[in-house]
Structure 1
Amino acid sequence: MKTAWVFPGQGSQAVGMGMDLLEVGQDKFAKAAEILGWSIAEKCQGDIAELSQTEYTQPCLYTISAILSDLLKAKGYTPDVVAGHSLGEYSALYSAGVFDFATGLELVKQRSLLMSGASGGAMTALIGFDRAALEDLIANTPDVVLANDNSDGQVVISGTVEAVQSVCGQIKVKKAMPLAVSGAFHSPLMAEAAAKFADILAQIQFRDAQIPVLSNVEPTDATTSAQTLRDRLSVQITSPVRWREISLYLGESGCERAIEVGAGKVLTGLLKRTAPNLQLANISNLEQLNELVR
């Protein structure tokens, strides 16, 4: 059965996530503390407001996904293709063998610090809208973009506070939810952070992937090329997350099953809407892992 592993991004965090992995993943938790200077276990058992701060959320999600991915492989499972939502792309690249755990976590650490340091923008999630009307409105409103295209009926817009408010004031939606983020992620307003991160990326050695990777910025071309994957990652911070297209690709390219590897079930929820023929599973804890293995 052709299977995709998909890895969650920011927004999937929850207090208590990963706590049943402390023993089986002790080496990675220890390595993470060494790299980060703080304990992932402590953050995951603490306050949700603190855990939801970008500089903590991203390393915690990456580490948990990496441990679960390794456990799946130890049970003899291997995906045919991998993809991740924004931050989750780093977990996908780790799972595909593009870099080792420590290298990936160092990248995630630097990315999270650059993104959390951004300011002067806003993001709002929209649910239930006329897509054509929204796209037309965005095209005619400066300084706002469609940042996360999650499904036909769920997106996130990103840009200046004024531009985001302008769009929200003119489009009829079922629900609009401002996101508690410091800046306009996945928009041109992140250009300064992206330039700094590109310099960091340039120092990292990427390996060709052992498993094809679907990128957020080019969701119709799964590749194993180290250079291509690096190039795509370098523009990810300023580019839209094209998850709806990733979902369509998985549903139309012969994939029969998708397993969300990491905290929560956001991505399987999105996949169900866009690619309803896929068999879906979540592996966010040891109990679910053992259920899958039976």
Structure 2
Amino acid sequence: MAIEVKNEYMSKERVLVVAPGRGCYNKDELGYLQTYHQDKVALIKSIDAYREALGQESIQQLDAANQYSFKRHTAGENASALIYACAMADFMDIDTEKYDIVAVTGNSMGWYIALACAGVLDSDAAIDVINTMGSMMQTGLIGGQLIYPEMDQAWRRDNRLTAIIDDAITLVASESDCEIYTSIFLGGYRVLAGNEAGLKRLEEILPNIDERYPMRLYNHGAFHSPMLAHIAENGLNDLPNTLFTSPSVPLIDGEGGIWTPHSTDTDKLRNYTLGSQVTQSYHFTKALQVAVKEFAPDKIIVLGPGNTLGGPVAQSLIDIDWFGWGNKADFLQTQETSPKLLAMGNIEQRSKVLK
């Protein structure tokens, strides 16, 4: 008589989890914690106890505000902790009976959240790292960022736009008093960082697209650029190696590097996180592409708040024809019939992820 052997993993779908960065908690996300995470009492209390000791406003107060304030909610010392709380609470809600989390990555500040999701940072270490790094420009922003598309209307890479961006960077960087760098490769977009002189020159040089781009990113500093060298130095001085442990699941960083549970050197992981990750370009596109090629997930779960990262995730995968997506229409059709991308900031898609 044949004996049926049941493997619990055979019935699970393999998923890549993606953590969001700055700019995902906006007016529509106000009240996200109250709406979805009133049960995450321990997480929220631990974050607010840490912030209270520093004289900072609680995330509960920020989330429960009567109205959204750009100045208040996008300030680094507030946005970082608030987004971490929302994303980490979402991660805790993933149905692990249904989904096998095979890898984790994130965009920009989402790298710190990914470290927490993967177990590199415990709850105390996570808020220490995230709040510390998010508060380092509290007394004044260093530089700024703008975003510009390098894709066509079908979300396919447009080499003409890429050349325009690269030529503009070369030209502006050669001018006196101007600093400009690629900050993030973000799917079909390029995020550029620089000083005010450099950003103004870029705004003059880059062709206007849809009366929207180039678009300044409010309250964003020159993240992922050499302009933040002293921020990296301060982080390395303030945040000890003892905060970091080996991941429980593989991590893909902003260079496309893979950190695995059994081969991670935590000194190197800390040095990357607080060093080159702060001062060099963050290649989110490459992180996504490496993750799907190496770990072959059935689906991708993007943590909330918001759904600003859904487009860049899809665009990164269209670029390599993953899931059979050759363009935006392919992606939207798949999402209608058998979604591969589940954004927890989207109410309908969220329901497919929850326990």
TM-score w.r.t. structure 2 length?
0.75
User: Which amino acid is 1:258 matched to?
Assistant: I
- Bigger Cα displacement from structure 2, 188-197 vs 13-22: 13-22
Name 1:187's counterpart in structure 2: 225
Consecutive unaligned residues in structure 2, runs of 5 or more: 1-12, 151-159, 174-178, 324-339
Consecutive unaligned residues in structure 1, runs of 5 or more: none
Secondary structure of the structure 2 residue equivalent to 1:158: strand
The alpha carbon displacement at 1:125 in A equals 1.2
Give, in whole Å, the separation in 2 of the partners of 1:45 and 1:91: 22
User: Which amino acid is 2:62 matched to?
Assistant: K
**CA deviation map 1:6-32 (0-9, x unaligned):** 001111003122212443101111111
Selected match of 2:104 from 82, 89, 110: 82
**CA deviation map 1:45-84 (0-9, x unaligned):** 2233211111111001111211221222665644111001
Name 1:139's counterpart in structure 2: 170
Name 1:105's counterpart in structure 2: 127
Name 1:273's counterpart in structure 2: 315
Aligned 8 A contact 2:14 2:99 in 1:
no
The alpha carbon displacement at 1:285 in A equals 8.0
Name 1:242's counterpart in structure 2: 283
User: Which amino acid is 1:177 matched to?
Assistant: M
Selected match of 2:117 from 71, 80, 95: 95
Selected match of 1:219 from 247, 256, 261: 256
Give, in whole Å, the separation in 1 of the partners of 2:147 and 2:220: 15
Report sequence identity in percent.
19
Aligned 8 A contact 2:288 2:316 in 1:
yes
Give, in whole Å, the separation in 2 of the partners of 1:182 and 1:11: 9
Please say which structure displays the higher CA radius of gyration. 2
User: Which amino acid is 1:249 matched to?
Assistant: V
- Bigger Cα displacement from structure 2, 224-233 vs 78-87: 224-233
User: Which residues in structure 2 correspond to 1:2-81 (within 5 Å)?
Assistant: 2-13=14-25, 14-37=29-52, 38-46=57-65, 47-49=68-70, 50-72=72-94, 77-81=99-103
Name 1:256's counterpart in structure 2: 298
Aligned 8 A contact 1:137 1:167 in 2:
yes
Give, in whole Å, the separation in 2 of the partners of 1:190 and 1:102: 25
**CA deviation map 1:231-280 (0-9, x unaligned):** 21012222222111122223433233110122111222211122144510
Q: Report the CA distance shift for 1:25/1:83 in structure 2 as closer, same or farther (over 3 A).
A: same
Aligned 8 A contact 2:16 2:300 in 1:
yes
Name 1:233's counterpart in structure 2: 273
Give, in whole Å, the separation in 2 of the partners of 1:228 and 1:289: 35
- Bigger Cα displacement from structure 2, 109-118 vs 281-290: 281-290
Secondary structure of the structure 2 residue equivalent to 1:6: strand
User: Which amino acid is 2:302 matched to?
Assistant: E
Give, in whole Å, the separation in 2 of the partners of 1:169 and 1:145: 16
- Bigger Cα displacement from structure 2, 255-264 vs 123-132: 123-132
Give, in whole Å, the separation in 2 of the partners of 1:73 and 1:207: 25
User: Which amino acid is 2:129 matched to?
Assistant: L
Give, in whole Å, the separation in 2 of the partners of 1:159 and 1:149: 15
Q: Report the CA distance shift for 1:169/1:31 in structure 2 as closer, same or farther (over 3 A).
A: same
Matched, 1:155 2:216: no
Matched, 1:168 2:203: yes
CA RMSD of aligned residues (A): 2.3
Give, in whole Å, the separation in 2 of the partners of 1:74 and 1:36: 31
Give, in whole Å, the separation in 2 of the partners of 1:273 and 1:22: 30
The alpha carbon displacement at 1:291 in A equals 3.1
Q: Report the CA distance shift for 1:55/1:124 in structure 2 as closer, same or farther (over 3 A).
A: same
TM-score w.r.t. structure 1 length?
0.90
Q: Report the CA distance shift for 1:293/1:109 in structure 2 as closer, same or farther (over 3 A).
A: closer
The alpha carbon displacement at 1:222 in A equals 4.3
Give, in whole Å, the separation in 2 of the partners of 1:286 and 1:60: 19
**CA deviation map 1:117-160 (0-9, x unaligned):** 343512111125710231233134322101011023x1111111
The alpha carbon displacement at 1:211 in A equals 0.6
Give, in whole Å, the separation in 2 of the partners of 1:62 and 1:119: 20
Give, in whole Å, the separation in 2 of the partners of 1:287 and 1:269: 17
Name 2:335's counterpart in structure 1: none
